[in-house]
Amino acid sequence: MSIITVVLPLLVADRGLRPTAAGLVFTAASIGGAVILLSAGFLGDRYGRRPILVAIAATAAVATVGVSMTGSYPLLLLFACIGALARGGAAGSGGAWGPFAPVEQPLLAEVVPRSARNAAFSTLAILGVLAGAAGSLAAALPAVLQGVGVTRAGGDEITMIIAGVAQLAAGLLVLPVREAPPIPPARLEERRLSPAARDAVFKLSLTNALNGFGAGFLGPFLTYWLHVRFGVGAAALATLFTVTNLVSALPYLGAASLARRLGSIPTILWTRLFAAVFTALLPFMPTFLWASAVYVLRMAVQMMANPIRQSFVLDLVAPEERGRLSSASSLPSQVTTSVAPYIGGWLMESLGLMGLPLELAALFQASNGVLFAHYFRGARDPAAAETD
């Protein structure tokens, strides 16, 4: 997905789509992500998470190749939707978000003891950002291909095909994974979420909805904004996201230790607030180099708390409810993420306010951190178990 994060917005821009039309592509991707997120966790709890992971990867691979080959705008929207493209997490996220999360994270939580879960999620995040760094570096391939006579559009298309092959390979790698057989519900009542899980879904839905607005204003449009604002191409953007992934791997090393020292909730709150400040500063940067430096700092701070938050949320419910909790609570985020790109594109095009979507991203993501801390300040903290 790191390749797609860089190349898809460039492909959209190089095909001459205006900001509003480009926003609809990202909106289509978010709608597809909402459907996958809602269904994946429920199906994973019921039928097993491994087959769902493989199916998602295969579908995304087909959609990515389809985007690279079609010249039709309606088909571009369709492929972006069914593949949930551009929804795999930003640079530095370690794949923390996206359609894999409702099945991948509960699968990890199933096999790792509670006392070691923060460290396990941190390790997974480190591996994710290192793989993301390799993907971001590979996103420079269009610029390399231009040097040997391939057109810029042709380079974008070839790189997207390579990304599709990588997605299929990721699905195949899941096949040897062993998991416990799913617990088949004997009665309809057993399929329902417990009161504790319903309460968690309600609170997480509200906080995730705010975060979804922030992600929708920032994630899909950042590459597009940098390209339009500073005139940079795939090589410069690939370098930026590669550096971002590598730098973001370092804070993950201390994430579990920080949560033990401060507690999970303060760690999540303060990292989110500091990241929002850096996001708000982005539109005021005079050059691509300054914008890149601020963005790298923003991601390093923002992503530090991701494994802590994942572990904390999964500890709110019983193991057999984790997939459904992830899917149900993520749906509002997908809805708001679907709306935000269109609004952001309209603001850019109609009002000429290129930086306003980034300011809105900062506002909504800071609000997410504050509301999350308000709702869950008294909940059981997995980080406390590591000190017992």
Residue type, 263: G
Q: Are 121 and 310 in contact (CB under 8 A)?
A: yes
Task: For residues 267 and 314, give the distance between their C-alpha atoms in angstroms, rounded to a whole number.
Answer: 17
What is the predicted pLDDT for the residue at 281?
A: 94
Q: Are 33 and 99 in contact (CB under 8 A)?
A: yes
Q: What is the pLDDT along the chain (388 residues), one digit of tens a residue?
A: 667 766 777 787 777 787 778 778 877 887 787 788 777 777 777 777 778 888 888 888 899 899 888 888 889 889 988 887 754 444 444 444 556 666 777 767 666 666 666 666 667 767 776 776 676 666 677 777 877 878 777 887 888 888 888 888 888 887 777 776 665 554 434 557 778 888 888 888 889 888 888 887 887 678 778 888 888 877 788 788 878 877 877 777 777 788 888 888 998 899 999 999 999 999 899 999 999 999 999 988 887 777 788 778 878 887 777 777 777 777 777 778 777 877 877 777 777 677 788 888 999 989 999 999 999 887 777 666 555 4
What is the predicted pLDDT for the residue at 159?
A: 84
What's the token pair of residue 149? Answer: 């006579």
Strand positions, DSSP E, the chain: none
Annotate 128-151 with DSSP letters as a single string: HHHHHHHHHHHTTHHHHHHTTT--
Domain 2-177+194-385: which CATH number of 3.40.50.2020, 1.20.1250.20, 3.40.640.10, 1.20.950.20:
1.20.1250.20
Contacts (Cβ under 8 Å, ≥6 apart) of 270: 262
Burial profile 116-141: b = 16 or more Cβ within 10 angstroms, e = fewer: ebbbbbbbbbbebbebbbebbbbbbb
What is the predicted pLDDT for the residue at 31?
A: 79
What is the predicted pLDDT for the residue at 88?
A: 42
For residue 106, give the nearest of 53, 142, 28 by alpha carbon.
Answer: 53
Domain ranges, ordered by start, for the chain: 2-177+194-385
Task: For residues 185 and 1, give the distance between their C-alpha atoms in angstroms, rounded to a whole number.
Answer: 35
Q: Are 104 and 52 in contact (CB under 8 A)?
A: no
Residue labelled with tokens 């979804």:
212
Task: For residues 251 and 122, give the distance between their C-alpha atoms in angstroms, rounded to a whole number.
Answer: 9
φ, ψ dihedrals at 152, nearest 5°: -60, -40
Q: Are 30 and 336 in contact (CB under 8 A)?
A: no
Task: For residues 64 and 86, give the distance between their C-alpha atoms in angstroms, rounded to a whole number.
Answer: 10
Task: For residues 132 and 245, give the distance between their C-alpha atoms in angstroms, rounded to a whole number.
Answer: 6
Q: Are 247 and 129 in contact (CB under 8 A)?
A: no
Q: Are 376 and 203 in contact (CB under 8 A)?
A: yes
Contacts (Cβ under 8 Å, ≥6 apart) of 117: 109, 311, 314, 315, 382
Task: For residues 43 and 38, give the distance between their C-alpha atoms in angstroms, rounded to a whole number.
Answer: 9
pTM of the entire structure? Answer: 0.65
Residue type, 212: G
For residue 312, give the nearest of 198, 180, 388, 204 by alpha carbon.
Answer: 204
